[in-house]
Structure 1
């Protein structure tokens, strides 16, 4: 940030430097006694040097002039010598990877009103430092929680337990490694859990029984894969196809942790003959239609999914907001990397129950088999024929997706499709019923359809739901995508509702200043940077605030001042 300021000042005075260089005129600079630091008393006199004097003093004079520009235009903004010393030390520590002194100096400056930070781009620069600092910390935590496997993992190295879930395209088993004590993800898994992993076996009806054909057919399932380079036997395939065309999704706290993937021959697993006989190959079931080989995905095992959780429990309004915010943060992460999930539903949202009780669970999105993740297409897909796959669940498709008409120049924009589906799932979170499923009311009429509904047909949410959240849900369910809130802005509104000072939302007639917003962000950053590592070291104490801590860290990892101000403006416009 300060380097840019120096460049800007040098650019402003570049004409003066060029003029001095061309005319050969220099201003006399009094000599300085290096021992006493006392300047000789002398008036500045304009003179025309001889060629010999010009040659000897040109470089030194230009250096002194540039030095004066730096001191007068940059360092003068620090109001006293102590602040200057703190600033130099802070920069030194910052380059060593420790942001603490830097944030401390900024906090003191904002509190004392010394005016070190004054311009909009400088405030954005501090937000950049916050993002980088929190991002480095969370990256280290993700690496510490990763599961270590052997390079050549296969079915022979895994032991399977009971069936967790079964769908039309895959079955999920609980699993563990043979003869190995699991040390992965100790932050959220119980110590007495004998099966800490989940293995998803894809049903293969069409792809040939070789690794390349299977991976080419099911590559979308591996979009959130954390260690794609571990596929050492298929390096050419990943380099030529996956790396150049397929968009991968970096790790995120609200995205399923997928550790490894591999192809192998389909075994006869528990309950396979009764749960999915048609997906078995001929060698296991003479009436089966499946191929001999398929894709296996090794993931972290989560406690339950959102659908089952809502059937067993009614979350309070705050937990409902926390769940919705986590879902919006996941969609924001998708959009950042130009990936559209296209199959969000309560079955595909998993929950990690940190501990039994009143604490809100951690939410993650899974099942990327229908996602759009093409680097060349981004979030817009050509729609030339009706045979092109629009996505998964038709009932929860965004209106612009379900009503799109094929044509030579037609395309479907998915940039705000997932956030619309998240709005429908918000009704499930707060009312346990999604109005866009074909439920019947007392008059035996369909409640809502994504093709024909209008905004005034949306049902009212319970009175316990905060008014800001109720209006937010309606804003992301607007039928016209150009008027609909995007996921990042919607998630920021939820984060402000959860953590910002109450007077910003209810009692203030004007928006907070940049300094006030930055003070709030720095207080959240202090909480994350200093309390976070302690929470991860003491597993038992962190249970009560794990989800809230992760949610704040997620917000700080993407925070931008102009987005926060835009969200505050939207709230005040209500």
Structure 2
């Protein structure tokens, strides 16, 4: 876009001179433009074009700067030699245009180098686990289970504790610590009299697969996508890698806004508290004669988060800044998935967990990957038959997914499907009902953008713009998770620099990025605990790309122009 912009600026000068009537017929201009005086010919085999030239200019044997200088000098020679006004204007305008292109390319090369240096600094430090590393825990007997804390359509979740998995640090605002309660478990051992439960154990319901570990890991392999490298024992790792589908699903690297599975193992289904009342049908026959479940199933061990996002929003009302940070965390988590070729396909407030950081700000993590797409094909799924699984929650299924018609050669692109779901969840974050949930609400299959309800007037205009763009039906007009996250980052922490930016020139933005890098590095050294704000800023700087930043700036500047135009017509807003 920068090359087109610079070229158009140079050619607009020529067009304006044409309109003043100073030119002769255009045919003669074209004839002389192709003449010998330009000394331009197609490249021979011995002369290679410059690597930085755009494809449509590579027939020039000279660099852009050299060609621009030649054209401009030719224009001045024609002034002295009495050339026609038409020739002088064409040479001057085209020379100026090429000079601007060369200048913009040089600025872009400098900006790209700055972004790469910033990336190198902030990608060195990996995400730290909130628990101390432990080497055991591959058996059900290694854990003490507490009360049931969650239940879905395919699993039940229980509190869990183990002597080898103590929290690395205790945060005074953590809901895990605030919710510690006395349990009836009096098992002797190294556990305290009033044990805390820093872990959560997810017990999958096994109805279709046999009781062998091999079959269980194959049928529930998607649950292993967020598993850490040591989640499976060596024996189970070999079983999981030796599946019927060629290779095991992709594994996610750790990220502060994505759940991490610390342990995954198979074991016999126990009779846990509330099992007979909550899910009797999925129990094995040895526990319930009418049950349909198998004797063995898959267990997943992860950190215990006290609330789902839905539960949190029922009890708490985040302020505008907190809600904006929560939206940004979801975008950062989705961007992390997309970068590794994974689509969640079941994003909803029930599948997002919440805790507090050391400053009292809500921290969000995406969980429940049972419906995810994590194949070698990436984010595009061949859709040749209606029996192919599209994903989870149909209410929050992106328009391009729900309207896809199976056929030969048809594929569903999930690269922007999860960000659409984030846009719908944003209404819940800002205290509004999700427009795609209520019985009288919208359907993703046939809604139009004008039907979307407005967010509260207090929500910043930039945030409203992001939500509006995320819910755009046309995927070409819908930003990626990275671009949307960049828009929020710039809006939250770069408001001043945004007001003085030019879409084509990014030098001020580069200066701001360097300042932000220094600030974040100082914050990281000065605080003992990691806050949500610092984590977000580190993630932004670790994934910085010049074109993504430029696109985000263009979206924001266009949104500001539209907002000012609206205020001109409706001053009461």
Tell me what 2:513 maps to.
Answer: 521
Note if contact 1:504-1:512 (Cα within 8 Å) is conserved in structure 2: no
Q: TM-score, normalised by structure 1?
A: 0.72
Residues 310 and 432, structure 1, Cα contact 8 Å, conserved in 2: no
The residue that corresponds to 1:341 in the other structure is 344
Residue 497 (structure 2) aligns with: 504
2:106 is the counterpart of 1:142: no
Task: Tell whether 2:119 aligns with 1:131.
Answer: yes
Task: Give, in angstroms, the shift of residue 270 of structure 1.
Answer: 1.2
Aligned to 1:530: 522
Partner of 1:451: 445
- Are 1:223 and 2:225 matched, yes or no? yes
2:36 corresponds to = none
Runs of 4+ in 1 over 6 A off after TM superposition: none
Q: Which runs of 5+ in 2 are unaligned?
A: 1-45, 48-102, 181-195, 560-573
CA drift of 1:468 comes to: 1.3
Give a deviation string over 1:317-343, Cα, whole Å, max 9, x none. Answer: 111111111111111111111111000
* Two-structure CA RMSD over aligned residues (Å): 2.4
On the 8 A contact 1:134/1:528 being kept in 2, the answer is no
Q: Distance in 2 between matches of 1:429 and 1:164?
A: 22
Tell me which residue corresponds to 1:464.
458
**CA–CA distance in 1 between the matches of 2:535 and 2:351?**
21
Q: Is the 8 A contact 1:319 1:360 kept in 2?
A: yes
Alignment CA distance shift 1:528-1:228 (3 Å): same
Of the three residues 213, 223, 226, the one matched with 1:211 is 213
Larger helix fraction of residues: 1
Instruction: Supply the distance in 1 between the matched residues of 2:164 and 2:469 (Cα, whole angstroms).
Output: 50
Q: Is contact 1:255-1:365 (8 Å) kept?
A: yes
Q: CA deviation at 1:153?
A: 1.9
The aligned runs of 1:91-490 (5 Å cut-off) are 119-137=107-125, 139=126, 141-142=127-128, 145-151=130-136, 153-177=138-162, 179-180=163-164, 182-184=166-168, 186=170, 194-228=196-230, 230-241=232-243, 244-354=247-357, 359-375=360-376, 377-439=377-439, 446-490=440-484
Distance 1:152 1:233, change over 3 A: farther
1:226·1:250 contact (CA, 8 Å) conserved in 2?
Answer: yes
**Does 2:538 correspond to 1:550?**
no
> What's the CA shift for 1:254?
0.4
Q: 1:184 to 1:292 in 2, by over 3 A?
A: farther
Q: How far is the alpha carbon of 1:406 from its aligned partner?
A: 1.3
Q: Are 1:353 and 1:362, in contact at CA under 8 Å, matched by a contact in 2?
A: yes
Deviations 1:100-138 (A, max 9, x none): xxxxxxxxxxxxxxx9x964223222222222221212x
After the TM superposition, which residues 36-55 of structure 1 pair with which residues of structure 2 at under 5 Å, given as runs?
A: none
| Shift in Å, 1:247 | 1.6
Once the two structures are superposed, residues 384-420 of structure 1 have per-residue CA deviations (whole angstroms, 9 ceiling, x without a partner) of 2211111100011001111111112222111111111
Q: Once the 2 structures are TM-superposed, how far is the Cα of residue 298 of structure 1 from its aligned partner?
A: 0.5
Residue 90 (structure 2) aligns with: none
Does the 8 Å contact 2:167/2:198 carry over to 1?
no
Q: Shift in Å at residue 284 of structure 1?
A: 0.8
Q: Work out whether residues 283 and 294 of structure 2, in 8 Å CA contact, stay in contact via their aligned partners in 1.
A: yes
Superposed displacement of residue 292, structure 1: 0.5
For the residues of structure 1 that align with 2:247 and 2:339, how far apart are their CA atoms?
18
- Separation in structure 2 between the aligned mates of residue 243 and residue 151 of structure 1, nearest angstrom: 29
